[in-house]
Amino acid sequence: MPAVADDGPPRAGGPAPLAPAARLWPALGAVYRAQLSRARVARIPLLFVATFQSIGIMVLMRGVVDGGGGEARAVVAGSAVLVVAFVALNLLAQYFGQLRASGGLDHYATLPVPAAAVALGTAGAYASFTVPGVLVTAVSGCLLYQLPMGGLWVALAVVPLAGAALAGLGAALGLLAPRAELATLCGQLGMSAALLLGVLPTDRLPEPVLWLRDLLPSSYGVDALADALGPAPDWASVAGDLTVCAVVGVVALALATWAYRRAAVR
């Protein structure tokens, strides 16, 4: 009687998977590159619209806001961050809402990719895609309102931090909305809030509205950039606002990851 090979004790977990699960960071990089490539092809016209919209708002506000002052800095900073809100919050909410409605999440669920990599990679791609529009808007605003450009480098920190917070919020709205239409509505409302609470100078807003502004993640990025555009920036205040942006960004991305896991298992 031929000898039977001993395969060892049976595995309690069932058959072995077809492929091992990808590690978080390599998977995150792959999703980020794929989504960034897709965004460059499909979203460039929308980025142009977002930039043109923000510059148009600055031109309109120039009729009521004098150049060189604190109100001018608030308008320029708010208009620059509005580009991030348009893409990272509004478009990402629509993207995940449509992905969930069309069953596209099922495709990602079959891949050996961690849920965090999908949520974070997509959010990061949409946020970083806004860098050219933010810089064009900020430079145009400084020229229009006669502001110094020495602090424009802060925009390179505002984009990833405010972008992470807004992208995480946009992804969560798109994944938690029961219908794609509601996801689009939530994204539009979020962008409208970023417009009204970010672009308008704070000294012209009533006290209850200021409380709502404190709850908007992008408002801290607006304040940091506005301070940096001043003749004598308070760098401690700038660092504090950027820190708040970073903390809110971590929370928002964690919420987006949880929302993705919740939507993918349904």
List all residues 6 or more positions away from 156 whose beta carbon is below 8 Å from its beta carbon. Answer: 131
pLDDT values of the chain reduced to their tens digit, one per residue, 266 residues? 444 444 444 444 444 444 555 677 888 888 898 888 876 666 678 888 899 999 999 999 998 888 888 899 999 999 999 999 998 999 999 999 998 888 888 777 777 788 888 888 988 888 888 999 999 999 999 999 999 999 999 999 999 999 999 999 999 999 999 899 999 999 999 999 999 899 988 887 888 899 999 999 889 999 999 999 998 899 999 999 999 999 999 999 999 999 998 887 76
Q: 237: alpha, beta or left, given left = phi > 0 and alpha = psi -120 to 50?
A: alpha
Phi, psi of 68 (to 5 degrees): 85, -10
This prediction's pTM:
0.86
The DSSP secondary-structure symbol of 87 reads I
DSSP 152-210: GGGHHHHHHHHHHHHHHHHHHHHHHSSSHHHHHHHHHHHHHHHHHHHHS-GGGS-HHHH
